[in-house]
Structure formats: structure tokens, C-alpha cells
Amino acid sequence: MSSTNDLAKELAEKRCEEFIVLAESQTSGRGRNERSWYSPPGGLYFSLVLRPDFDFDKYPLIGLAMGLAIAQILDDLGIEAKLKWPNDVLVNDKKIAGILAESKHNYFVVGVGVNVNNYDFPDDLRATSLSTELGDVLSTKWLMVKILKSFEGFYVRILKGVKELIDEYRGRSSLIGKEVEVDLGNGTVEGRADIDDRGRLILTRGGFRRVVGAGEITKVKRAEGGKNR
């Protein structure tokens, strides 16, 4: 398959349902900001089509909920995972999973890519996989079911308790309270990072507060005020 997100969107235009598209590999896997997503056999690639009955401004929280769900399952497997805004899942600063959230009028597609039984990555990717971390092979289908069950628990909180969800996200974040630089596409901004109850990044600097809905974190200063990475 080319991309589960592309097929999910095509099908979502034709039928008013919620469903999942799953692939064993992708020939044109897509990542955020027009990047490609390395999608060889052995990884988990799926897209979930949802038709939320809450306000559009809460849609970004769906991606955050999926990031939390993946991090929770990794925890259960004994792998300590962190979230990098908006939805990157990192293990020891290496990317293990990514989420591509796309919305169109009445549906929302949350595309999930997890490096599972993959050992080699292109040199320019700072990535790891579950099998690398665990030294064992895992069933991708088993993992998907675990992630979806966990996601359900976070998804209902978008309606019932956003504060709880955001607090959980803060606890998992690799950025909150740190000085970060964000590429907005037309320039960069810097500040101390936090997140608001709509899942947007809040940057504070010199008494000013800036709300960032979309962007790419390009630098993170260590909490001790040390080196950038």
C-alpha cells in the first residue's frame, strides 16, 4: 500500500463510518511537514478514521491522546517513553513512533507508525524500534490492539476531562519547562515550553506568551541550562 492515511481519507469521503486501515508496509508513507515515513515490513502502520462529536478546536487533542496511548503501552512493556510535542514518541531521545493527524470537514484521520521489528534505519534517522529495545520480536497486530484499547481510555477524556489528559501529557513530555526553539515555517520563535488545554504549545519569554498551533521543535535546551540538542 502507498499510505494508510491516503487510503483512509479516500474511503472516508465515500462512507460515513469510523474504521481502521492497516498495512504491513507502505511505499509512500508520509510523516509530518511533508517528510516521508520509513515503512518497511516489520513495522506497524495504521490509520484510524474518527468522526468526533466534540468541537473542532479539540481535534488536536486526539493526536496527543494517541501519543499517550503508545507511551503507556511502551511503559507496560518496560520501555520508558517520552513525548515530544506534538506527537513524537521517543525512547532515549530516539524516535520509536510518529503520528500524522489530518482532518477534513467531518472526519479526523490519525495515522500511526511504530518501529516494531525493524533493526536498521537510514543514517539520517535518529530512530529505534521495540525489538531493538526489548531484544525480542513482537506481533504488530497484538500491539495495535493494545494501543487502540489504551487510546480509547484517553479519547473519552477529551470529552470528560481534558485537564486530566493535559496533566498526563505534561508528565510525559520531554519539553515542558525547557527553553525550546520552534520552526514555524516562516521563521523561528523561542521560549519556555508549556501546553494549553487545546494541545497547543505555549512559549513564554520575557513576560510575553505566544501560542503555537503548529510547528517543528528544532532545539531543546537542557533543564540545567546546559547545551542544546
Closer CB to ligand BTN, residue 28 or residue 204? 28
Residue whose CB is nearest to ligand BTN in the complex, by number: 98
Closer CB to ligand BTN, residue 31 or residue 210? 31
Q: What are the angstrom distances between the C-alpha of 192 and each of 109, 176, 182, 197, 203? A: 30, 8, 11, 17, 5
- Do 184 and 212 contact (CB within 8 A), yes or no? yes
Shortest Å distance, C-beta 110 to ligand BTN: 9
Shortest Å distance, C-beta 85 to ligand BTN: 12
Closer CB to ligand BTN, residue 35 or residue 209? 35
- Do 90 and 103 contact (CB within 8 A), yes or no? no
Closer CB to ligand BTN, residue 34 or residue 123? 34
Closer CB to ligand BTN, residue 180 or residue 223? 180
202-101-140 Cα angle (round to 5): 120
Shortest Å distance, C-beta 114 to ligand BTN: 8
Q: Is 115 exposed, middle or buried (0-12, 13-18, 19+ CB in 10 A)?
A: buried
Residues that bind ligand BTN (CB under 6 A): 3-5, 26, 29-32, 35, 37, 45, 47, 88, 98-100, 111-113
Chain-centre distance for alpha carbon 100:
7
Strands 188-195 and 179-183: antiparallel
Shortest Å distance, C-beta 163 to ligand BTN: 26
